[in-house]
Amino acid sequence: LPIFMTSHDTGAGRHGQQTAKRGFPVLVLLPLVVFAALAALFLFQLTLGGDPQKIPSALINKPAPEFDLPPVEGLTDGDTAVAGFSRQDLIGKVSVVNVFASWCVPCRQEHPLLEELAKVEGIQLLGINYKDKPENARRFLGSLGNPYQRVGADTAGRTAIEWGVYGVPETFVVDGEGTIRYKFIGPLSPETYYDVFLPELQKIMDGNKS
């Protein structure tokens, strides 16, 4: 049977279509755009071979930034309070500066290697405790052991930004003049510790003696 439509019905239909078109929320596309951007970033990282060590650092062979970190509140080594540190404490000896946090799972994984590193003669191992609560930092080091000679509390994360930290953990080697010579991004594994990090550290220590 033929269907008859009045002009009123036709107008209502057009009006409904126009309303539907006008009512399409453009902001719905925003999550898709964000997802596409993140996917592109992930793809870019893959083109680097998945190796975070290929990420450039602008601070290599430049003086460590000025900073002065207070100690982690209540952190002790036996009966002695563990001091914070500043840039001045980097002068005169090769320093390994490790950025860590109690909430960082990879930090826990690399910690036994830091305890090995603390036994290396001729260096000082210093820790920057990044955006952590003092009670959590104390519990973390109390349960795993404290390999650091000094630990500075970077509660706001400002010092880490000045050091160009991408994320925790990261480890820097600073020569006796206070110049950053090497940066290891991500957690140390037994392979990278023995095959990559220690040889780089040894070269810097040898250069510091000359």
pLDDT of residue 46: 37
Q: Does pLDDT of 19 surpass 50?
A: no
pLDDT band at 102 (very low <50, low <70, confident <90, very high): very high
pLDDT digits (tens, 9 = 90+) for 131-179: 999 999 999 999 999 999 999 999 999 999 999 999 999 999 999 999 9
The model's pTM is: 0.75
pLDDT digits (tens, 9 = 90+) for 27-86: 666 666 655 655 444 444 433 444 555 555 689 999 999 999 999 999 999 999 999 999
Measured CA distances, 9 to 2, 14, 119, 158, 207 (Å): 15, 9, 87, 65, 88
